[in-house]
Every structure is written in C-alpha cells, then in structure tokens.
C-alpha cells in the first residue's frame, strides 16, 4: 500500500493523479495516498442538526426588555446558586438575604446540578485548602469535607493560583465615575501641545479652563487619584468600538503637520496648523520652569539642585525626594528588553488567553503578550477588558498590548497600566485590520497618519520607564508599503522595538507574508533599534531561514503557527520536526483545561467558559497535518488540507473541520454539553476581496 513521495499522491477532479510537487505548487497538502479519503459531498446529519439549531436560535428575535426579564428569571432559577451560599452551604450566609438576585434554594440546585467531572478538584491539594466554589464546584464529590468554606481559605486558593494584575475594585469605581487623575500623562501631553481646553469637560469660563491646564500635575491619594473629574477619553459602548466619540484635544490637534495650509485663506499659520514642536523632557520642563509636580514654585537653591547642570551636586535636603520621584528618566536610563533570538508568542485575540499562554510557556515560549485591549474600554473600567491584562507567575517576560486612536487616550492608558499592573513592556497595536477598530481610527488606520503615530509613541514613551514597543503592518493598501520610510523615526519617537507583520491591512491574512520587505526594513533600522518579523512561521526551518536571510532581524514573532501547533516552540529549540501523536496532543489539551479551571473556575460557568475557548482553539488545531502523513515536510501554513484518515481514531477526529467533532473532543475533557448548545468559530480572518478593504 505504501508508495514513495515521487509516486502519485492524489486524484484531481478529472480523475488523473498528481505528484506531491504538483500539489505543493497549488498549495494543497501532499498527504500520502493511503491516508486519503473522499471528501463528503454534504455535511453529516449531526452537523446539519447543529447548523439548523443555530439558525433557529438566530431567527428568534426578542426585545431588550424581554431578554433582561429572562436573564433575571434565569438567575432566580435553581441552577444559578448564590456564590456565598455555595461556598458555605448556609442560606443565611448571604448578606443580601431575600433581596439577593440569585437563588438560595439548595434542594432545587442539587436537583438540577450537572454531573461531576472526572478527576480531582484543581483547588484542593490535600493540605486542607478549600475550593472557592464549594457546592457549585464540578468536582464537589472529591472534596474531603463538605461545607464551611471561609474567606481565608478562598484567598489561599487564589494565592496558590499565582495570577497577577488583578483589577483593583477601588480603581474601577474611580474610572466608572470619571474621577481618575492622570498627572504624568496630562503633563506630557501638555508639553507636546496635545492637551487643550476641549479635553476638559468641566463647565465654566475660559479662566477656569486655563487654570485647569496649568495645574496638570495633581497631588494624589494612595490610589493615585483625587475626587475631581479628570480629562475624559473617547467613550465607547460595551463592545469597545461602537458609540459616539467624545471630542478632545487630540481630535482637534491630530496630525497637525498633515493639515494643508490651503485651509487658511489668509495665509497665516494658526496654532492648530503649526507642526508639533519637539517635546521638552519632563525633567527639563519642571526644573527650568521653577515648578514642582504640584505646580508650586521651587526655591532657587532647590531648582539649581534639580537642574541637569548641577545634577552631580549632593542633595542634602530630603524634601527633594518626592519631586525627584516624578521626574522622567532619561531615555538612555530606561529599562531595555533584548528580544534577540527569543521565541515570542504573539498577542492573539480570543485564543491567546492566559491558560493558552501557560501551555506555550511549558512548550518553550520565551516571551508572551496578552490579548489586545482597547484603551477606551480600559479607561472606562470594564472588567472584561482588564482581564486581558492578567499575568501568570510563569510568564517571566510578559507584555500587554493596547490599541487606541488618539495620543491622550493611549497615554493615560499607559500611565494607568504602569500604576496598576506588573508588565515588562507595553505594545501599541498599529496594525489591527478589524473593521470595527479601523473605522474608529485605531489599528491599521494609523498607518495613514504618521504624525498621529508619532504623537502616540512619543507621549507614551515619555510617561513611563517601561519599554514601549509598536506592532505595524507593511501598509494600509496592498502595493503601497510605507513602514520603510518610518522605521528610523519610530525609534527616535521613543519605541524600543517594532514588530512588522508582512502583510498590508487590505490583505488581512491572505497571501504569504512579504519577508523581503521585512528584511529591507530591518536593514534600514538603526543598529540599536530592534526589528521583529511576523508572518507564516510554521516550522523550525521557517524560523532558521528568516533568521539567516537577515541577521539584522532581532527575532520572529509566532502567531497562527502557535495556534495550529503550540509545540512549534519545542521544535525550534530542539531543531526537529516533531511527529507528535494524537495522545500527546490530547495531553496538551488536558493541560490547557487544567489551567482553565484555575483561571476561569471549576463551577458550571467556568467549565462552559473553558469549553468556549477550547472550541475556538480547536478550530485552528484541526489544520495541523501530522508529519508522518505527509509526502513533503514540513507543512506550510498556507496549504489546504484534503480529507484524510489519521493513524488512529483520535487523530482522525482531531483532523475534522466539523464543529460537531470539536464538540465531541470537548466532551471528552469537560463532560456533556448543555442542552441546545451550539458553536460557530468567531474568527473569519480572510476578507481580502471585500469592498471596504480597498
């Protein structure tokens, strides 16, 4: 049955055989003949059932009031037990009593509770620790002692979980009330000419506005803010992109040097049309102006001690300490990160969650980065957006990625993250191709506005000592690459590194990445400025080729390759093509589920959250073709896979592109799905031919 690689490997539509070389030329994976099977002409009945059920649900339209009423009724059902009652198994333990919106009926909950899952509770290690979910835990049968959970034991479980960057509730309330202050950001924005009267929402005459502009540095309390209303950023709805935009100074002063002088018929130059001047450093501005961080005058002798010319003089007065803490560090003294040669897991929307990053760390990733978070949502205190900044203790080199359209929004977000989170670098996304992001002026839309890019990077890097990196694409439209003309400027603006995705915004994820252009940019960059490449890295040979073709390239970021086969990091470090077996792949999924219990919880809500993200991940892993099944190795990321049998039933199941089969895999790890459960992958990345993409 076995045939060599030079023999015929597939049958085309006209009934003739094609060689592996011919298939590769057509971007079709050359699977060995003995594993091929005819692709079914129609979906199975099970798939049709899933699709029909979803369509039926989608057609049913309900008003917002009806949906809200149903949600409240559902919360009152026996299946939604009050967390406090579940922890203690004591109905009287809930401080809200009868006013609680959740159920307190233990009998009704036990009657409807799903069956326990196999295995041990992830929050109990045999040392007397209590599970924080109590009766609601899906491993309740493994609890040694029932009832009696206390707050102390719950906190112990969280400490053992080793997650950092947990959102402070006090800060969240201040953001909700728009009372958070950003003294560093406002001071830098003012020095750059990006902070104007329109950014203040206080009502009053011009004198009050001018006074507010002068006092840009505020004395703060322990939480870094006071009770006054701070400068607002762009307001969005819960989705983070829709909604009306609040007019601010950055909107008015955006890209001032790009504005044509033809707008002024009298030939004069106004402040709004004047190019943005080079910013003074925070140290120079405060020292030379004779003001301290609170806007008060500084005695001459203290001013002399704080100025750069007399920096070497000994400072005996302890009163200078508070002022010196707020002074901006010189760029040469800022912390730097060496990305060279390190394996960098790209920030991946939806699938790049904390449990997935932990799996990649185990498999060899050196650098991890959180999912892209919208600045407007972070400034509004949305807990779901702040959850994207969570970090695990195993992530020894970790960054967060943010996305915003205006310098004031991004600058305040950077200051807030620096204050509330522990991160090694902050990445600013200027390459996101998603329509809802681009239409708001963020992501790839910034590629058409270099002066706005400058103001964002310049202001952000001037606020914090944390390294600022930038992620871009080659350009907005295909054939109009422009990053090569900005590569030197990005470093001078204050960024420590830039990652170039080798596609334009118009291409989305279609066609192969342009590595020749990435290498061209890397060669043009200053020697001290790190350039990272991104696109189509799917094996250790791809990694080696890109690194050898351009020694000036610091490293290669790995994105979809890690989604399809997260063991790519092991392959690169061990320099081999890993013919991983189905059982080993299932063990990786089991480890992901275990990490998911620790992150999302072991109650029913947590289990279904794990299932959702697991299914999203399986929609990528099904694209992997085992090494032992290929006539030509390694697999390329753009190869289309024919329908084939695996070497065992599990491998065949993992190769299926059917959502019903992904659900079957999830049931092997998380038990049966709830009644009426449906799933459809979230990402539809390839939209190259759509009209709005140019």
| 3-class secondary structure, 31 | strand
Q: What is the DSSP string of 61-111?
A: ---HHHHHHHHHHHHHSTTSB-HHHHHH--GGG-TTGGG-SSB--HHHHHH
In this structure, is the dihedral angle defined by the CA atoms of residues 293, 337, 488 and 562, taken in order, positive or negative?
negative
Report the chain's C-alpha Rg in angstroms.
28
In this structure, is the dihedral angle defined by the CA atoms of residues 330, 333, 335 and 339, taken in order, positive or negative?
positive
Q: 99 Cβ partners below 8 Å, 6+ apart?
A: none
The catalytically annotated residue of 375, 403, 432, 556 is 432
Burial class from Cβ neighbours inside 10 Å (0-12, 13-18, 19+) for residue 2 reads exposed
How far apart, in whole angstroms, are the C-alpha atoms of residue 559 and residue 539? 12
**Given the DSSP bridges, would you call strands 398-403 and 425-430 parallel, antiparallel or unpaired?**
parallel
Residues 409-441: b if buried by 16+ CB within 10 A, e if exposed? bbbbbbbbbbbbbebbbbbbbbbbbbeebbebb
- Phi/psi for 414 (5° steps) reads -60, -45
Q: Using an 8 Å Cβ cutoff, are 625 and 29 in contact?
A: yes
Tell me, yes or no, if 432 is annotated catalytic.
Answer: yes
Burial class from Cβ neighbours inside 10 Å (0-12, 13-18, 19+) for residue 523 reads middle
**Given the DSSP bridges, would you call strands 17-18 and 10-11 parallel, antiparallel or unpaired?**
antiparallel
Sheet harboring 530-534: ordered strands across? 344-345, 555-558, 530-534, 497-501, 468-473, 425-430, 398-403, 368-374
| 3-class secondary structure, 38 | coil
Q: Using an 8 Å Cβ cutoff, are 187 and 216 in contact?
A: yes
How far apart, in whole angstroms, are the C-alpha atoms of residue 122 and residue 114? 18
Q: Using an 8 Å Cβ cutoff, are 547 and 538 in contact?
A: no
Q: Is 397 left (phi over 0), alpha (psi -120 to 50) or beta?
A: beta
Burial class from Cβ neighbours inside 10 Å (0-12, 13-18, 19+) for residue 581 reads middle
| 3-class secondary structure, 473 | strand
Q: Using an 8 Å Cβ cutoff, are 31 and 5 in contact?
A: no
* 296 half-sphere exposure, CB direction, 13 A CA radius: 6
Q: 408 Cβ partners below 8 Å, 6+ apart?
A: 185, 189, 194, 195, 199, 231, 233, 248, 249, 250, 459
- Annotated catalytic residues are 432
């Amino acid at each position: 049955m076995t045939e060599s690689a030079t023999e015929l490997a597939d049958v085309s539509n006209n009934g003739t055989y094609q060689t592996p070389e011919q298939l590769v030329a057509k971007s079709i994976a050359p699977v060995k003949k003995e594993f091929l099977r005819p692709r079914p002409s129609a979906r199975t009945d099970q798939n049709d059932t899933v699709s029909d059920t979803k369509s039926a649900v989608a057609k049913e339209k309900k008003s917002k009031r009806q949906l809200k009423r149903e949600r409240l009724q559902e919360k009152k059902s026996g299946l939604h037990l009050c967390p406090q009652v579940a922890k203690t198994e004591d109905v009287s333990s809930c401080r809200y009593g009868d006013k609680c919106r959740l159920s307190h009926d233990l009998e009704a909950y036990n009657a409807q509770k799903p069956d326990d899952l196999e295995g041990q509770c992830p929050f109990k290690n045999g040392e007397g620790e209590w599970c924080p979910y109590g009766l609601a835990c899906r491993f309740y049968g493994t609890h040694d002692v029932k009832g009696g959970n206390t707050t102390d034991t719950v906190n112990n479980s969280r400490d053992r979980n080793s997650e950092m960057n947990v959102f402070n509730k006090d800060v969240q309330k201040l953001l909700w009330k728009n009372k958070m202050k950003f003294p560093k950001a406002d001071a830098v924005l003012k020095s750059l000419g990006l902070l104007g009267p329109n950014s203040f929402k206080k009502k009053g005459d011009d004198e009050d506005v001018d006074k507010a502009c002068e006092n840009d540095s505020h004395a703060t309390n322990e939480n870094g803010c006071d009770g006054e209303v701070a400068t607002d950023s762009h307001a969005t709805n819960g989705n983070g992109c829709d909604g009306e935009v609040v007019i601010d100074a950055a909107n008015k002063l955006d890209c001032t040097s790009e504005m044509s002088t033809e707008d002024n018929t009298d030939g004069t130059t106004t402040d709004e049309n004047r190019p943005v001047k080079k910013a003074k450093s925070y140290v120079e501005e405060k020292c030379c102006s004779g003001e301290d961080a609170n806007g008060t005058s500084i005695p001459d002798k203290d001013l002399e001690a704080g100025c750069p010319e007399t920096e070497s003089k000994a400072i005996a007065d302890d009163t200078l300490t508070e002022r010196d803490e707020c002074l901006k560090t010189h760029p040469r003294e800022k912390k730097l990160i060496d990305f060279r040669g390190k394996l960098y897991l790209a920030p991946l929307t939806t699938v790049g969650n904390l449990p997935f990053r932990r799996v990649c760390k185990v498999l060899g990733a050196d650098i991890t980065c959180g999912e892209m978070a919208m600045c407007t949502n972070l400034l509004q205190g949305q807990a779901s957006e702040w959850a994207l900044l969570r970090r695990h203790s195993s992530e020894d080199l970790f960054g967060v990625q943010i996305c915003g359209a205006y310098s004031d929004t991004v600058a305040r977000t950077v200051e807030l993250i620096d204050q509330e989170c522990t991160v090694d670098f902050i990445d600013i996304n200027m390459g996101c191709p998603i329509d809802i992001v681009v239409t708001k002026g963020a992501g790839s839309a910034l590629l058409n506005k270099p002066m706005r890019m400058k103001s964002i990077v310049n202001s952000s890097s001037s606020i914090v000592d944390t390294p600022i990196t930038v992620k871009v694409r080659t350009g907005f439209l295909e054939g109009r690459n422009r990053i090569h003309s900005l590569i030197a400027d990005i470093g001078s603006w204050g960024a420590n590194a830039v990652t170039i995705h080798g596609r334009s915004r118009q291409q989305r994820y279609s066609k192969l990445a342009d590595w020749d252009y990435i290498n061209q940019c890397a060669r043009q960059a200053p020697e001290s400025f790190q350039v990272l490449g991104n696109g189509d890295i799917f094996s250790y040979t791809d990694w080696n080729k890109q690194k050898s073709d351009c020694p000036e390239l610091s490293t290669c970021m790995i994105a979809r390759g890690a989604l399809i086969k997260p063991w790519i990091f092991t392959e690169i470090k061990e320099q081999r093509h890993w013919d991983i077996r189905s059982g080993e792949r299932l063990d990786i999924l089991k480890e992901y589920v275990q990490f998911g219990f620790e992150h999302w919880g072991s109650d029913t809500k947590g289990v279904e959250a794990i299932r959702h993200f697991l299914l999203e991940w399986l929609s990528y892993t099904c694209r992997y073709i085992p090494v032992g099944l290929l006539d030509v190795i390694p697999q390329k990321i753009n190869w289309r896979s024919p329908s084939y049998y695996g070497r065992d039933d599990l491998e065949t199941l993992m190769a299926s592109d059917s959502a019903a089969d992904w659900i079957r895999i999830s049931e092997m790890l998380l038990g049966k799905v709830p009644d009426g459960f449906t799933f459809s992958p979230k990402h539809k990345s390839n939209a190259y031919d759509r009209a709005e993409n140019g």
